[in-house]
């Protein structure tokens, strides 16, 4: 057993007192931390305490990188680094969306409504009715795998595919719920891609304490959507007592 393997074995011990001296050593030696991380990933699932250390070490660079992401797709693939640090989510994620776009074209869907129907029908995407605040519901790679997500994650998926297909589409950020809009009207991807009328939007706004939906109907910018996704993660991780991830997500939301 190498010295790195020995350190990793100690980090897997359930007694947190054993972690303290090892964490101090790794925290003071970036090269050793990097080596331990590479070895842990080669072995399989890294110890939780090591994941936390890597998140702390990468926090500033992750927040800075997210702050520099102006387009929705770039930022959407950065967010999952909170879930699985130092992993390339962008390359496989973009390939998955490219493949999905090919399927949409083959289906004959040619507008925003058809795209929503294909995603929520043939592909089975839908809203995360159970455990709504689970942070995984915000991450596109996990949404693509599990076929469930928050309204903003599902709308983001719809938007990114629409852009690949040359379909005019945008998001509107209603209180508590992000919806899609295309030339044929409004869509709720969380609820099966159903059409939503303006009267429906006004009712939703009034239920949230607003007089009407009017102030929320301007298209949401990519940057605004990314920040809102990060705010959702602050809430989700705070509820789970994961203050390291919640703090980093807060930095991303305010960057």
Per-residue pLDDT reduced to its tens digit, 138-194: 999 999 999 999 999 999 999 999 999 999 999 999 998 999 999 999 999 999 999
Residues 6+ away with beta carbon under 8 Å from 120? 126, 189, 192, 193
CA dihedral 243, 246, 252, 255 (to 10 degrees): -70
| Alpha-carbon gap, residue 95 to 133, rounded angstroms | 27
Task: Reduce the DSSP state of residue 188 to 3 states and report it.
Answer: strand
Q: Tens digit of pLDDT for each residue in 181-230?
A: 999 999 999 999 999 999 999 999 999 999 999 999 999 999 999 999 99
Tokens of 164: 């690949």
Residues 6+ away with beta carbon under 8 Å from 177? 151, 188, 190, 204
């Amino acid at each position: 057993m190498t010295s790195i393997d020995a350190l990793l074995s100690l980090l897997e011990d359930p007694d947190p007192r054993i972690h303290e001296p090892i964490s101090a050593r790794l925290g003071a030696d970036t090269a050793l931390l990097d080596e331990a991380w590479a070895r842990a990933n080669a072995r399989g699932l890294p110890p939780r305490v090591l994941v936390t250390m890597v998140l702390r070490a990468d926090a500033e660079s992750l927040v800075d990188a997210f702050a520099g992401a102006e387009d929705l797709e770039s930022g959407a693939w950065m967010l999952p680094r909170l879930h699985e640090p130092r992993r390339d989510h962008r390359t496989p994620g973009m390939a998955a969306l490219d493949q999905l776009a090919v399927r949409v074209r083959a289906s004959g869907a040619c507008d925003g409504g058809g795209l929503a129907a294909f995603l929520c029908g043939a592909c089975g995407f839908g809203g995360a009715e159970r455990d709504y605040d689970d942070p995984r519901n915000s991450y596109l790679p996990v949404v693509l795998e599990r076929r469930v997500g928050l309204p903003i994650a599902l709308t983001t998926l719809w938007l990114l595919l629409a852009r690949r297909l040359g379909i005019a589409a945008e998001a509107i950020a209603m209180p508590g719920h992000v919806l899609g809009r295309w030339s044929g009207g409004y869509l709720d991807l969380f609820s099966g891609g159903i059409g939503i009328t303006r009267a429906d939007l006004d009712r939703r706004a009034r239920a949230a304490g607003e007089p009407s939906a009017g102030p929320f109907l301007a298209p949401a910018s990519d940057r605004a959507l990314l920040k809102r996704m990060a705010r959702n993660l602050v809430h989700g991780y705070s509820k789970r007592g994961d203050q390291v991830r919640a703090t980093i997500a807060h930095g991303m939301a305010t960057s």
